[in-house]
Amino acid sequence: MVHVALTIAGSDSGGGAGIQADLKTFQELGVFGTSALTAVTAQNTYGVSAIQPMDLSIITAQIQAVKEDFAIQAVKTGMLFSAEIIQAVAAELRDSGIPLVIDPVMIAKGGASLLKEEAVDALKSALIPIATVVTPNIPEAEVLTGLEIKSESDIERAAEHIMALGAHSVVIKGGHWKEAPFAEDLFAGSDGTRFSVRSPWVDTKDTHGTGCTYSAALAAFLADGESLPEAVISAKCFIHAAIENGLGIGGGHGPTNHWAYNRKGGNLMEGVAVIG
């Protein structure tokens, strides 16, 4: 059986993030990728120079066209840009019963804002309450919760705060703690499940699209039938391989290596530890 995943996100002309990264990830993991484009960016490894959001009518038409023709096993969202787009996407996904991975994309690697300030409230009120899992990094978790995150207990508090908004579970990614010798992500579920997934810190500038790639891998593993905890661990292995084996292309923050996981054999736990 061919499994199908849908990504609802923006386009990255540089190919390292957004729709392009999502579809590459789906393909590498043997999942048929479908897409709904929310915005076009002029972007490379140095940053974003222009953004053009799509009309709401064409965004919803794309989602409806895919839903009408495919049995979708998982959906992920990325760059949604505005409150209006968030609300339109939420209306299409609400009551669908499809596992939903929300990557709350806010800032590009080069510093450009990919989410309007007023859209944060819509994200919290319309989309997070229908999420299977939300995957913020630490800065994004701080925006979503209003908390300053400086410790492991702060991460726990932030996870509880996000689940209080209605999310079934959350993965708070620890890759922004550069002083640590490892990148540790916390998984917290509303059923009380807690564990961390740790991988060695990789000293590289080639991290463009890590959030998109991780959340796409998580959606792909869910589409392929893995349980949520299994998919979180598998996605961590995928993104660690992608970061560890950077491509060395572009003059700025280069893209991760979407080929690495399969080229190294797949199902990798090299250096990846599950704690708790």
Active site residue 237: no
The string of DSSP letters for 69-105 reads H----EEEE---BSHHHHHHHHHHHTT----EEE---
Q: Pick the catalytic residue: 173, 174, 175, 213?
A: 173
The reply to whether 10 belongs to the active site is: no
Quick check: is 15 catalytic?
no
User: Which residues have CB under 8 Å from 202's CB, separation 6+?
Assistant: 183, 240, 243, 244
Cα–Cα separations (whole angstroms), residue 218 to 73, 102, 224: 12, 10, 10
Buried b (16+ CB within 10 A) or exposed e, 180-216: eebbbbbbbbeeeeeebbbbebbeeebbbbbbbbbbb
Pick the catalytic residue from 15, 175, 211, 254.
211
Length of the chain measured in residues: 276
Q: Does 166 qualify as catalytic in the annotation?
A: no
Given 135, 207, 213, 256, the catalytic residue? 207
Q: Which of 124, 189, 212, 213 is catalytic?
A: 212
Find out whether 104 and 80 touch, Cβ atoms under 8 Å: no
Q: Which of 145, 210, 213, 256 is catalytic?
A: 210
Q: For residue 38, indicate whether it is catalytic.
A: no
Residue 109 annotated in active site: no
Which residues are the active-site residues? 173, 207, 209-212
